[in-house]
């Protein structure tokens, strides 16, 4: 998970903050995120391709843009494994590079 920490710090932390809390009403939280934990494929799509428009996280609607960071499949798997096992999240099923590569828009 060390690679995931480095990727998070380099690509995610500026917006989602050091604790994964995001910015209220602007940037959705990753901490204790119902969207992240219940929407595996959609979560991967957001990281792989970016997100524009409405998204509901923990009962709050966010309407913004997250650009794709240009990460490799392995980097996406690593950062998702870190995020889904940090900030109060717990995920027993590891993300893999092969899973990420199969995701299409």
pLDDT for 36-90, tens place per residue?
999 999 999 999 999 999 999 999 999 999 999 999 999 999 999 999 999 999 9
d(CA 60, CA 99): 28
Q: How many helices (H) and strands (E) does the chain have?
A: 6, 2
Q: Domain boundaries in the chain?
A: 2-90
Residues in the chain, total: 105
d(CA 60, CA 76): 25
pTM of the shown model:
0.95
Domain 2-90 CATH superfamily: Cytochrome c-like domain (1.10.760.10)
What separation in angstroms does the CA of 1 have from each of 26, 49, 67?
28, 22, 23
User: Comparing C-alpha atoms, which of 3, 2, 28, 8 is closest to residue 83?
Assistant: 8
């Amino acid at each position: 998970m060390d690679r995931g920490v480095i990727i998070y710090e380099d690509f995610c932390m500026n917006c989602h903050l050091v604790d994964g809390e995001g910015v209220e009403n602007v940037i959705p939280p990753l901490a204790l995120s119902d969207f992240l934990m219940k929407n595996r494929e959609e979560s991967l799509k957001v990281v792989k391709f970016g997100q524009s428009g409405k998204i509901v996280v923990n009962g709050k609607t966010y309407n913004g843009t997250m650009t794709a960071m240009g990460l490799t499949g392995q980097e996406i798997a690593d950062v998702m494994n870190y995020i889904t096992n940090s900030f109060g999240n717990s995920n027993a099923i590891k993300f893999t590079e092969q899973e990420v590569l199969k995701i299409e828009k």
